[in-house]
Amino acid sequence: MSTLALTDGAVTGGVIVVGLSFNPNKASALTIESGTLTLDTRTLLAQLKELGATGKHDEIIKIPGTRTKLIVFTGLGQMQKVYAHETLRRAAGAAARALAGSDEATFALPTANIEAVAAIAEGAALGAYAFDEFRGSTKSERKLPLAKIAIHSKFSKKIEAKNALKRAQIIAKYTHLVRDLINTPPSHLTPDTFTKKIAAVVKSAGGASAGLKVSVLNEKQLKSGGYGGIIGVGQGSANPPRLLHITYTPEKSLRKFAFVGKGITFDTGGLALKPAAGMEAMKSDMSGAAAVCGAILAIASLKLPVSIEAWAPLAENMVSDNATRPSDVITIYGGKTVEVLNPDAEGRLVLADALVKAQETKSLDGLVDVATLTGAQVVALGTRTSAVMTNNEAFSAQLLSAATDSGEAFWPMPLPQELRASLDSPVADLANIGERMGGMLVAGLFLKDFVKPEVPWLHLDIAGPAYNESGAHGYTPVGGTGVALRTLLRLVENSIIR
């Protein structure tokens, strides 16, 4: 983990990061945006022009400094009077990535307010990430993430800025945990080891003294407890399933939310075996579970006065003589039966158990599930925008506003009633697949069947955004991204000021 600090002083020696923007109306008109730090911009602009700088997003240009060792220019895109927080977050993240191997850097970017300081701190800390745990002979060649990050602004003495930094540090710490879990290969992350890793993190976060409790149901308890979805999906694997439950109980509680995250540690598709090409990405099929665990830990670390229950149904969807067959009927926790027409539609089965269980908690202000649920999500919204589905428009509006605040892209999707009939089964209460067109919505409608209409519920399909299979950009690395944690945190924070 890199450390974060505030500064307003002169920078001598070391590395500074400043912004670079362009004016679309004037050819090659660049502006250096260094916030509260004054620079000799005339010489620098001449050098930048020589280097062909554009100021576009994700452009990084390094120039040796005179008073400092190095000046790093990070693209802010089109020049603005006030830059969007997400623009600053991404620009800081891109610079932090480009500074892997460096010991320290001072980020001098435009900071109109403390939220801007927060965004730069978050972006830089999120960009300073590496996953090298499974390297052997090549490990020593790898650059370490940028170690020390200082944010330059006029707010450095303000308590609000210090709090913003603390929050950014917590966000980065637990987003890195989420990314690590996603990137960990299924050889090393099974349902059992997932629960053990989380239990260890909860312990180091203070455990009971921080209001946190962990409990785990094993395969025997799941079977006798009637969790037919988790058992049905997990029974084909030598690594048996688990149901992980974390509670955060603050001293004073103003709201109560439950989070449920899909935790398929590997999704082969089961007997509906997926094609080999691209199957490796299915190690990320536990991203929802990781995100809800990261979110509850961040919320607890910030000591927010909101009770949270996080549920992670964990299973490995494998092929074996014991795997669930197409046409098998399973009984979800609570008694509804499901005909498993396609064992690759497994996420909704484990989520159904956990959603029903989560609703045993009375007077929830909201229930949110997070899942890499459908390929149709990626087809509909691409790889960087997640979907929100709901039974409660007001709750969905709160989620979308929290997403905007946090800088994560979410978009509302409908749950059209006419598609529900396609989930009818000739033998069971419902089938696990229906109409192919609108597959993301059909999956949402399946889950809705397990949610009481009076419970405000959100379904977040993060199938595309959870795992970055193309190049790194902004503060987003290749591999696990950690998406949904910041939006869940913001949703909870906003719920107490509303």
Residues of this chain that interact with Mn ion (CB under 5 A) are 267, 344, 346
Residue closer to Zn ion (CB basis): 282 or 308: 282
Helix runs in 335-438, H state only: 347-358, 375-381, 393-406
Is 321 annotated as a binding-site member? no
What is the helix, strand, coil percentage profile of the chain, to 5? 35, 25, 40
Residue closer to Zn ion (CB basis): 267 or 309: 267
**216 touches, from Mn ion, ligand BES, Zn ion, none (C-beta below 5 to 8 Å by class):** none
Residue closer to ligand BES (CB basis): 68 or 468: 468
407 sits in the region (left: phi over 0; alpha: psi -120 to 50; else beta) called: left
Does 201 sit near ligand BES (CB under 6 A)?
A: no
Q: Least Å distance between CB 344 and ligand BES?
A: 4
Report the alpha-carbon distance of residue 105 to residue 116 in Å, rounded: 18
Report the residue from 267, 316, 353, 405 that binds Zn ion according to the rule CB under 5 A.
267
Is 122 annotated as a binding-site member? no
Does 489 sit near ligand BES (CB under 6 A)?
A: no
- Size of the chain, expressed as the number of residues it contains: 498
Return the closest-CA partner of residue 117 out of 68, 76, 77, 151. 151
Q: Which stretch binds Zn ion (CB under 5 A): 344-352, 421-429, 449-457, 481-489?
A: 344-352
Is 449 annotated as a binding-site member? no
Report the alpha-carbon distance of residue 412 to residue 390 in Å, rounded: 9
Report the alpha-carbon distance of residue 238 to residue 266 in Å, rounded: 12
Q: Is 274 a catalytic residue?
A: yes
Report the alpha-carbon distance of residue 472 to residue 153 in Å, rounded: 27
**375 touches, from Mn ion, ligand BES, Zn ion, none (C-beta below 5 to 8 Å by class):** ligand BES
Report the alpha-carbon distance of residue 25 to residue 78 in Å, rounded: 10
Active-site annotation holder among 348, 420, 448, 486:
348
Q: Least Å distance between CB 101 and ligand BES?
A: 32
Report the residue from 210, 258, 310, 463 that binds ligand BES according to the rule CB under 6 A.
463
Burial class (CB in 10 A: 0-12, 13-18, 19+), 422: middle
Report the alpha-carbon distance of residue 301 to residue 484 in Å, rounded: 17
Report the residue from 122, 309, 339, 344 that binds ligand BES according to the rule CB under 6 A.
344
Report the residue from 65, 228, 439, 444 that binds ligand BES according to the rule CB under 6 A.
439
Is 328 annotated as a binding-site member? no
- Provide the Cα torsion 94, 98, 104, 107; round to 10°: -30
Q: Is 49 a catalytic residue?
A: no
In angstroms, the Cα distances linking 299 to 65, 76, 284 are: 41, 31, 23
Return the closest-CA partner of residue 349 out of 440, 452, 421, 433. 433
Does 267 sit near ligand BES (CB under 6 A)?
A: yes
Report the residue from 33, 285, 316, 369 that binds Zn ion according to the rule CB under 5 A.
285
How many chain residues are in contact with ligand BES, going by CB under 6 A? 16
Residue closer to Mn ion (CB basis): 346 or 369: 346
Does 345 sit near ligand BES (CB under 6 A)?
A: yes
**342 touches, from ligand BES, Zn ion, Mn ion, none (C-beta below 5 to 8 Å by class):** ligand BES
Report the alpha-carbon distance of residue 314 to residue 286 in Å, rounded: 8
Report the residue from 59, 285, 316, 408 that binds ligand BES according to the rule CB under 6 A.
285
Report the residue from 294, 347, 407, 465 that binds Zn ion according to the rule CB under 5 A.
347
- Provide the Cα torsion 314, 320, 326, 327; round to 10°: -90
Return the closest-CA partner of residue 189 out of 265, 113, 241. 265
Annotated binding site for Mn(2+): 262, 267, 285, 344, 346
Contacts to ligand BES by CB under 6 A: 267, 285, 342, 344-347, 372-376, 378, 433, 439, 463
* Interacting residues with Zn ion (CB under 5 A): 264, 267, 285, 347
Q: Which residues belong to the active site? A: 274, 348
